[in-house]
Amino acid sequence: MGKKLILNACGVKSLGGVKLFVEAFELIVESRTEIIVLYSENEFFSELKYQSDDNKKIKFIKITNRRFLHPYLHLILNKNLKNIINESDAIIHFGNFGFKTKNKSFVLIQNILPFVKTDIKNLILKYYISKSMESSDHIIVQLSHVSKLFNEKYKNKILEIGNIEEHIIEANKNSGKLVFFGSKVTNKNFQFMVDVLKEYDDEIKVTIINPPETIPGFNCVYTETNNQALKELSENDIYFHASDYETVGLPLYEAQNLGLKLVIPQKPYTTYFNGESVFIYEHKNLKSALLKIKEANNLKIKNFKALIYNENWSKILKYI
């Protein structure tokens, strides 16, 4: 007999969040589970609509309540929808914020900033995410460095779904080309990377993918899809990264598997990386970053070890 599963994707709209959901969704669909997806973003629905066209076991329901009300959906949803949710076998909350239900519940934590930053906004988010963690039967995280951020009382609830495997790949031959991503998010330290490359005095071609604004002296390119971004990455030799925090840091894995050397900060999310093609600098230290970029640019290498990141959602299905 098939299971009935609710996937709460309300609030999921970032590129990384949608990509993660799609991968989980496709595996769950293959398990012949009857699925109801709760969503709030039209762009999100357009990514998945094709899945429901020929599959009568998939149903999408749009939630129109404002994002700040999502932790209270159990109080404001109509009675019919509440019954549908509570009569299912389980619910997985993908957007950090779960709400109380009578069935087995899982919450996926993707936003770790509330657990490492103490400004008012993140303290409020931490309160609501912590309430979700308390009311859920299981807490889903991707990698072990995220698990370490949470209170000891949650350790028996945590399920880690991230898998990292090693393989050998051929290094890119685009010598003297460096690439990094633009971002308006403070945590990503975009301006730091710009400042570092402005100080770099050797000849090197620098590409910025999707910068907030055009930066003179840099090759600025704009992409609309992940495949376009990967193509731009593949035309370079070095990938530069500077984020304060990451739950995974997927671009690091993608760049490395495209044959790029990595110049990355010494942070918990980078501890999985090592080897001669990985250059780790002191976080937010301009001179340290410059030195590592020069070392990466000078390294001539044919093959190196790369990490493949994937997620084992079948582990979650065993608990439903």
Q: What is the 3-state secondary structure (H, E, C) of 147-159?
A: HCCCCHHHCCCEE
Instruction: Give the chain's largest Cα–Cα span.
Output: 66
- At 150, list the tokens: 């949470």
Q: How far is the C-alpha of 26 from the C-alpha of 273, rounded, in Å?
A: 28
In terms of DSSP bridges, do strands 177-181 and 219-221 run parallel, antiparallel, or are they unpaired?
unpaired
Architecture of domain 4-163+311-317: 3-Layer(aba) Sandwich (3.40)
Q: Where in the chain is the domain with CATH 3.40.50.2000?
A: 4-163+311-317, 172-301
Report which residue type is found at 232: E
Q: How far is the C-alpha of 44 from the C-alpha of 128, rounded, in Å?
A: 23
Residue 115 CA: distances (Å) to CA of 50, 63, 211, 261, 265: 36, 27, 27, 30, 20
Closest CA to 101 of 87, 90, 86: 86
Local structure of residue 100 (DSSP, 8 states): -
In terms of DSSP bridges, do strands 238-240 and 261-265 run parallel, antiparallel, or are they unpaired?
parallel
Closest CA to 195 of 208, 209, 185: 208
Query: Bridge partners of 239?
Result: 179, 262
- The pLDDT score that the predictor gives to residue 92 is 94
Angle between helices 226-234 and 250-257 (to 10 degrees): 50
Closest CA to 81 of 30, 140, 36, 111: 36
Q: How far is the C-alpha of 320 from the C-alpha of 302, rounded, in Å?
A: 46
Q: How far is the C-alpha of 56 from the C-alpha of 49, rounded, in Å?
A: 12
In terms of DSSP bridges, do strands 162-170 and 303-311 run parallel, antiparallel, or are they unpaired?
antiparallel
pTM over 0.75: yes
Q: How far is the C-alpha of 269 from the C-alpha of 193, rounded, in Å?
A: 18
For residue 146, give every residue at least 6 positions away whose Cβ sits within 8 Å of its Cβ, in sequence order, or none: 109, 112, 247
- pLDDT under 50: residue ranges of the chain: 1
With contact defined as beta carbons under 8 Å apart, do 126 and 149 qualify? Answer: no
- The pLDDT score that the predictor gives to residue 54 is 60
- The pLDDT score that the predictor gives to residue 1 is 45
For residue 1, give every residue at least 6 positions away whose Cβ sits within 8 Å of its Cβ, in sequence order, or none: none
Query: Which CATH code fits 172-301?
Result: 3.40.50.2000
Residues 126, 129, 131, 136, CA torsion sign? negative
Residue 320 CA: distances (Å) to CA of 26, 38, 48, 104: 17, 18, 23, 7
Q: How far is the C-alpha of 247 from the C-alpha of 269, rounded, in Å?
A: 7
